[in-house]
Amino acid sequence: MHYQSAYLKSPWKCELRTLELPDFLPDAHVLIRVEACGICGTDLSHAEDKLDDWQPFGHEIAGVIERLGSQCDGLHVGDTVVLESSGFCGRCDSCRDGRVDLCNKAPNFWKAGPSLGFSEYMIAPACCVVRYDGLTPEAASLAEPAGVAYDMIKTADIRHGDKVCLIGPGPIGLMAIPMALKSGADEVVCIGRTRNSKRLEAAEKLGAKVVASDLALSAHTELHHQFDRVLVTAPVQIIPQALSLLAYGGVLSYIGIGTGDGTIQFDANDFHYRKLQLRGSFASPALYYPIVLKMLKNGTISADTIISHRIPLRDIGQAMTLCKEDKGQTIKVVITTENIAPQV
Ligand SMILES: [Zn+2]
Ligand SMILES: [Zn+2]
């Protein structure tokens, strides 16, 4: 049986290939029929200049178990599932010391088969499968980026009554707004560029006060020294200015992907005398799926506010172009695979 799978190559080349489903699955692996997969900032960055050769892509995955290999206890054909993009082993020193967040040694889906999430089917290790119910596949596919947002929130260690500032209203930043409020923040102020109007509207809907500005943060002196916590999901170059928003003893939690040169300079005297903290969030291994699935289910995170576009797999090339060219009008673009009859 054949199926369709999208491949990517820099710069901005995307093609659908026809692949053959495997006859046998390795032990402790499952075959997933993908129903929805979100386009992530990392996919765009890879499309731009990171891939010299064709690669399958897509890692924000929701689907249905189609087939089971041996040793897949507790899983059943027909289960609706999302996939952790990386996992912990449970056996290394970090895991045994209770720091599973420092381990990345579990099998993952990245090299498990010839296709990833922008496909009709893919193979994944059973250990990265998390079952869900009560959500659409599109909403469930937000579990991966929501886990990233939750890691940033945990890293920021938000306390009751904190004033929080969010810089960067992409999908991850936006999902962090209700999470920060639920974690006890009194208010969340979201700063974004005016061209990102759709994203700023969403920020407001999700409970933030919005500052739409094309000025540098250094020009916004009214915001300086105002925030107990600053969450940054924007290129690293913003960090020196973002530190000036922190109140005495404040914490900045940063998540970013490589955007060219990651070198920054900031005033270490200010950092020292104002007892500031700069913390890196990196959601690998991918934790917290049960928590964020609950947030998606109970409406803490409004999937309808985050998902701006649903586009079928056959149009993935156009979807990538849309994300590239109209950042301000897209929030999360989710690729869907309708029930396509098996091609024999
Ligand atoms: Zn992602
Ligand atoms: Zn481990």
Among candidate residues 234, 243, 97, 125, the one with its CA nearest the CA of residue 173: 234
Both 129 and 173 in one domain: the answer is no
- 121 alpha carbon – ligand 1 mean position (Å): 19
Where does a domain end: 250, 280, 310? Answer: 280
Before 169, cis peptide (omega within 30)?
no
- 41 alpha carbon – ligand 2 mean position (Å): 27
| Confidence grade of residue 333 (pLDDT, cut at 50, 70, 90) | very high
- 114 alpha carbon – ligand 2 mean position (Å): 26
- 172 alpha carbon – ligand 2 mean position (Å): 26
Q: For residue 341, is pLDDT > 50?
A: no
3-state SS track over the chain? CEEEEEEEECCCEEEEEEEECCCCCCCCEEEEEEEEEECCHHHHHHHHHCCCCCEECCCEEEEEEEEECCCCCCCCCCCEEEECCCCCCCCCHHHHCCCHHHCCCCCCCCCCCCCCCCECEEEEEHHHEEECCCCCHHHHCCHHHHHHHHHHHHHHCCCCCCEEEEECCCHHHHHHHHHHHHCCCCEEEEEECCCCHHHHHHHHHCCCEEEECCCCHHHCHHHCCCEEEEEECCCHHHHHHHHCCEEEEEEEEECCCCCCCCCCCCCHHHHHHCCCEEEECCCCCCCCHHHHHHHHHCCCCCHHHHEEEEEEHHHHHHHHHHHHHCCCCCCEEEEECCCCCCEC
Is the residue at 293 inside a domain? no
- 289 alpha carbon – ligand 1 mean position (Å): 14
Both 13 and 138 in one domain: the answer is yes
- Residue 43: its pLDDT value, please? 95
- 213 alpha carbon – ligand 1 mean position (Å): 26
Both 156 and 224 in one domain: the answer is yes
Both 132 and 10 in one domain: the answer is yes
- Residue 344: its pLDDT value, please? 42
In whole angstroms, what is the distance from residue 197 CA to residue 177 CA?
17
Instruction: Name the closest ligand to CA 91.
Output: 2
- 97 alpha carbon – ligand 1 mean position (Å): 28
Both 15 and 97 in one domain: the answer is yes
Tell me which residue range forms the domain holding 101.
2-142+301-336
Both 228 and 113 in one domain: the answer is no
Before 11, cis peptide (omega within 30)?
yes
- Residue 343: its pLDDT value, please? 44
Both 110 and 130 in one domain: the answer is yes
- Residue 328: its pLDDT value, please? 76
Instruction: Name the closest ligand to CA 57.
Output: 1
Q: What is the mean pLDDT of residues 286-297?
A: 97
- Residue 202: its pLDDT value, please? 97
- 23 alpha carbon – ligand 1 mean position (Å): 30
Mean pLDDT of the chain: 95
Is the residue at 188 inside a domain? yes
In whole angstroms, what is the distance from residue 194 CA to residue 282 CA?
28
Is the residue at 84 inside a domain? yes
Q: State which amino acid sits at residue 5.
A: S
Structural domains counted in the chain: 2
Question: In b/e form, how buried is each residue of 252-283, taking b as 16+ CB within 10 angstroms?
Answer: bbbbbeeeeeeeeeeeeeeeeebebebeebeb
Is the residue at 245 inside a domain? yes
- 128 alpha carbon – ligand 2 mean position (Å): 14
Q: What is the mean pLDDT of residues 102-116?
A: 94
Q: For residue 342, is pLDDT > 80?
A: no
Both 86 and 103 in one domain: the answer is yes
- 293 alpha carbon – ligand 2 mean position (Å): 24
Both 244 and 313 in one domain: the answer is no
Lowest-confidence region among 26-30, 100-104, 254-258:
254-258
As given in the structure block, the two tokens for residue 299 are 């409406």
Is the residue at 285 inside a domain? no
| Residue 28 vs residues 79, 272, 330, 331: alpha-carbon distances, Å | 16, 50, 38, 35
As given in the structure block, the two tokens for residue 136 are 């659409």
104-61-82-124 Cα dihedral, nearest 10 degrees: -60
For helices 316-325 and 41-49, angle between their N-to-C axes, nearest 10 degrees: 90
Both 202 and 229 in one domain: the answer is yes
Is the residue at 341 inside a domain? no
Instruction: Name the closest ligand to CA 37.
Output: 1
Both 225 and 326 in one domain: the answer is no
| Confidence grade of residue 108 (pLDDT, cut at 50, 70, 90) | very high
Is the residue at 76 inside a domain? yes
CATH of residue 185's domain is 3.40.50.720
Q: What is the mean pLDDT of residues 27-41?
A: 97
Q: What is the mean pLDDT of residues 166-184?
A: 97
Both 14 and 129 in one domain: the answer is yes
- 97 alpha carbon – ligand 2 mean position (Å): 9
Is the residue at 287 inside a domain? no
| Confidence grade of residue 339 (pLDDT, cut at 50, 70, 90) | low
| Residue 264 vs residues 1, 238, 260, 268, 276: alpha-carbon distances, Å | 52, 9, 12, 12, 16
- 344 alpha carbon – ligand 1 mean position (Å): 33
